[in-house]
Amino acid sequence: MRRRKKNISFYLGLIIISLVIIFVVMGIFWTPYDPNGMSAALKNSPPSLAHLFGTDNFGRDILSRVMVGAKTTFLVAFFTVLIGASIGTIIGALTGYYGGLFDEVLMRLNDGLASFPSILLALVFVSIIGTGKYNIILALGVLFIPSYARIIRSEFITLKEKDFVKNAELMGANDFRIMFVHILPNTKPIFISSVSIGFNNAVLAESSLSYLNLGVQPPDASLGRMLSEAQPYLFTAPWYVIFPGIMIILMILGFSLLNDSV
């Protein structure tokens, strides 16, 4: 019974993620209309066959803009997780394996950082280095390092006492080989789940920052920014708000369904 239920949410998650990825990849090469093409005649027109998601206050096609915006959000989240996970893993591996003063200092810093809610830290970073696509990737990427470092570190601390590690040590393997060939592959399950949680947090953080106009800046379209632009037309053109919002929900939901069933 439990097994089957898990499978259903796994496949549902897989389907949602595949659709999102197809949507994003398509948005890189082709959109039905020019996402920035304006038309006075089409201002705030509701969804129709010609414009499936309707048009916005400038007469721009919302479907095309959602495709481009989803691409921005997806890529920002992807690179954020890439930076956070790779640097975090290296730091976590070194501190977990060697311990010592360096480990002690980093962990204290980590404890301090853990007291800051992540959106607050993201805002601090943005106020320091500024807004825009690349700054957001940098800010969120750096922000994500401590959580990966913490997870990988605690895995390394438990795993380094295991017999297979002692065995490799006796065989004369060097530290580098033990850390990255013997121990690291064993952190895979927890690593995968923290990557998918991280991806969700990144999508949420990017769209929140862009909603506050402190994230991705025009001409780059972003789902969060679309929502803030759409809010004044909430009553007259509700479709303008709903489609970008649903896109964000699908991105987050897909990965959390997958993660729950792994």
Partner 1 sequence: MNTIKLIIKKIASLFATLIIVSLITFLAFQVIPGDSVLISLGTNATEEAIEQRREELGLNENVFVRYFKWLGNAAKGDFGTSSQYHIKVSELIGERLSITIWLTIISVVFVLLISIPLGILASNRVDGWIDRIVVFLTQITMAIPPFFLGIIITLIFGFILRLFTPGRFYYPAESFNKFISFMVFPGLAIAIPKIAMVVKFLRSSIIRQLDTDYVRTAKSKGHTRAGIMYNHVLKNALIPVITFIAMVIADILANSIIIEEVFGIPGLGRLLVMSISNRDYAVVQAIVLLIVIIIVFLNFVVDILYQYLDPKVRIK
Of 215, 245, 250, 221, nearest in space to 231 by CA: 245
| Residue entry with tokens 């065995």 | 167
Task: Decide if residue 256 touches partner 1 (CB under 8 A).
Answer: yes
- If one asks whether residue 108 binds partner 1 (CB under 8 A), the answer comes out as yes
| Cβ atoms within 10 Å, residue 165 | 19
Q: Is 109 in the site for partner 1 (CB under 8 A)?
A: yes
Residues 150-209 contacting partner 1, CB under 8 A: 200, 204, 207-208
Question: Rounded CA gap, 157 and 173, in Å?
Answer: 18
Of 17, 62, 94, 227, the residue at the interface with partner 1 (CB under 8 A) is: 227
Question: Quick one: which of 44, 57, 213, 217 contacts partner 1 (CB under 8 A)?
Answer: 213
Of the residues 15, 28, 181, 249, which one makes contact with partner 1 according to CB under 8 A: 249
101 near partner 1 (CB under 8 A)? no
Q: In Å, how far are 87, 94, 145, 152, 160 from 101, measured between CA atoms?
A: 19, 12, 19, 18, 18
Check binding of 262 to partner 1 (CB under 8 A): no
* Axis-axis angle for helices 133-159, 118-129 (nearest 10): 130
Q: Compute how many residues bind partner 1; rule: CB under 8 A.
A: 44
Q: Which stretch binds partner 1 (CB under 8 A): 1-9, 20-28, 35-43, 71-79?
A: 1-9
Per rule CB under 8 A, is residue 102 in the interface with partner 1? no
Structure-token pair, residue 155: 């895995």
C-beta of 203: minimal distance to partner 1 in Å? 8
SS (H, E, C) 127-150: HHHCCCHHHHHHHHHHHHHHHHHH
61 φ, ψ (degrees, to nearest 5): -75, 120
CA atoms within 13 A on the CB side of 154: 8
Residues 111-130 that bind partner 1 (CB under 8 A): 111-113, 115-120, 123-124, 126-129
Decide if residue 9 touches partner 1 (CB under 8 A). Answer: yes
Taking a C-beta distance cutoff of 8 angstroms, is the pair 96, 157 a contact? yes
Pick from 52, 90, 107, 212 the residue near partner 1 by CB under 8 A.
212
Gyration radius of the chain over CA positions: 22
Binding site for partner 1 (CB under 8 A): 1-2, 5, 9, 108-109, 111-113, 115-120, 123-124, 126-129, 200, 204, 207-208, 211-214, 224, 227, 231, 234-235, 238, 241, 245, 248-249, 252-253, 256-257, 260
